[in-house]
Structure 1
Amino acid sequence: MEPLTLHTGRAISLRRSDVDTDQIIPAEFCKRLTKSGFEDALFAAWRADPSFPLNDPLRQDATVLVAAHNFGTGSSREHAVWALRDWGFRAVVASSFGDIFRRNALKNGVLAVELPAQTVGRLASRVEADPAFEITVDLKACELRAADRSHPFTVDQRARWLLLNGYDDIAVNLGHDEAISLYEATRHRWLPRTDTVAI
């Protein structure tokens, strides 16, 4: 996973509250057997409307999504985050998030930034007025910067460490390969073992 320390990108606004994971990625797209390639499924039903923000050619390269209240509520599907990430979003800014969505986002390289509703509303207005409007998320400083203003935010410390280093939980475990191998080599033979099977 690519580390996320400081990111500056153009933004896009989605002023809809309670956007659930089924709206972010409809269930029929969740049958794929990969963890990537979901950009075509992002907001698939809503993108049928030509006026939907993601259809705006001036905003095609946006990497920061300014959402609203309770973004990512609903089911636990990780596919919702994968679709946002595959579209190109590195951060989602909202006044609140679904708890599971927030955890999934942070585990998959998308920074979920929670700010007061008034601040998010001001950012959304600036984004809507100017397709070139940029937002910077600084994970080292835990600060969002835009239009000469800075806004502090908080992130779970383990999730922050993983993002700053570009790790996921598997990478962390693989980093302990030497200790795992040593443990396995010195383990009593009479303890149960899992056979290695070539596929």
Structure 2
Amino acid sequence: MKPFTQLDGLVVALDRPNVDTDAIIPKQFLKSIKRSGFGPNLFDEWRYLDVGQPGQDCAGRPLNTDFVLNQPRYQGASVLLARKNFGCGSSREHAVWALEDFGIRCVIAPSFADIFFSNCGKNGVLAIRLPEVSIDRLFQAVTAQEGYRLVVDLQTQTLTTPDGEVIDFEVDPFRKECLLNGWDDIGLTLRHADEIRAYEARRRQEAPWLFAH
């Protein structure tokens, strides 16, 4: 996965609590197990006025112009500001794949569903919990100022606003190390590739019948 170090990103504010994973990526798009290609269908039922189907070209679909991701001021956003319990519902990892493929690298909310929160860290998306009072202030600022950006620095665990205010956030040390280095679960395993090969070679000598064809 792509490492996450520092992000200077345009913020889009999604003012809805309890956004579930079926809203993030509807069930009909879960047939693929590739991590890419889900971006056009992120929030599909909210972004479009018709019903989307797998493999459909989204370029000509009718847009819901009232939905925030379709508004010109938020085009190119890479930071998603959300309300409480974001990512609830089913545990589909596709929800994070869709966010990342769309270009969202950081999600900030008062709370997240546990599995969604874990999936973010395993797929290069930084999920940040902040107190509701801080989230409310950010919503007000994003709404009031077009082009509102945040500098997200994972190393220092800070958010910097356009007026220079610095907001600290907490992150699990292990997840922080994985994000900084771009280590997903496969990457973590491959760090021990030499030891794994040595173990397999030793087992071939100790128990050759296990490897017989």
> Which of the five TM-score ranges fits, normalised by the shorter chain?
over 0.9
Q: Which residue of 2 aligns with 1:72?
A: 87
Aligned residues: 195
Query: How far off its partner does 1:132 sit?
Result: 1.1
Q: Which residue of 1 aligns with 2:178?
A: 162
Q: Which residue of 2 aligns with 1:42?
A: 42
Q: Which residue of 2 aligns with 1:110?
A: 125
Measured in 2, the distance between the counterparts of 1:172 and 1:71 equals: 27
Query: How far off its partner does 1:194 sit?
Result: 8.3
Structure 1 gaps of 5+ residues are none
- 1:120-135 equivalent positions in 2, closer than 5 A: 120-135=135-150
The RMSD of aligned alpha carbons is 1.4
Where has structure 1 moved over 3 Å in runs of 4 or more?
none
The letter of the residue matching 1:165 is: N
**Inter-CA distance 194–11: structure 2 relative to 1 (3 Å threshold):** farther
Measured in 1, the distance between the counterparts of 2:39 and 2:87 equals: 16
Q: Which residue of 2 aligns with 1:144?
A: 159
The letter of the residue matching 2:122 is: K
Query: How far off its partner does 1:186 sit?
Result: 1.3
Render the CA deviation track for 1:9-44: whole Å, top value 9, x for unaligned: 110000100000011111011112311110111000
Does the 8 Å CA contact 1:11/1:131 hold for their aligned counterparts?
Answer: no
Measured in 2, the distance between the counterparts of 1:66 and 1:110 equals: 13
Measured in 1, the distance between the counterparts of 2:116 and 2:211 equals: 36
Q: Which moved more, 1:165-174 or 1:186-195?
A: 186-195
| TM-score of the superposed pair, with normalisation by structure 2 | 0.87
Secondary structure, aligned partner of 1:101:
helix
| TM-score of the superposed pair, with normalisation by structure 1 | 0.93
Secondary structure, aligned partner of 2:30:
helix
The letter of the residue matching 2:172 is: D
Q: Which residue of 1 aligns with 2:202?
A: 186
Q: Which moved more, 1:160-169 or 1:181-190?
A: 181-190
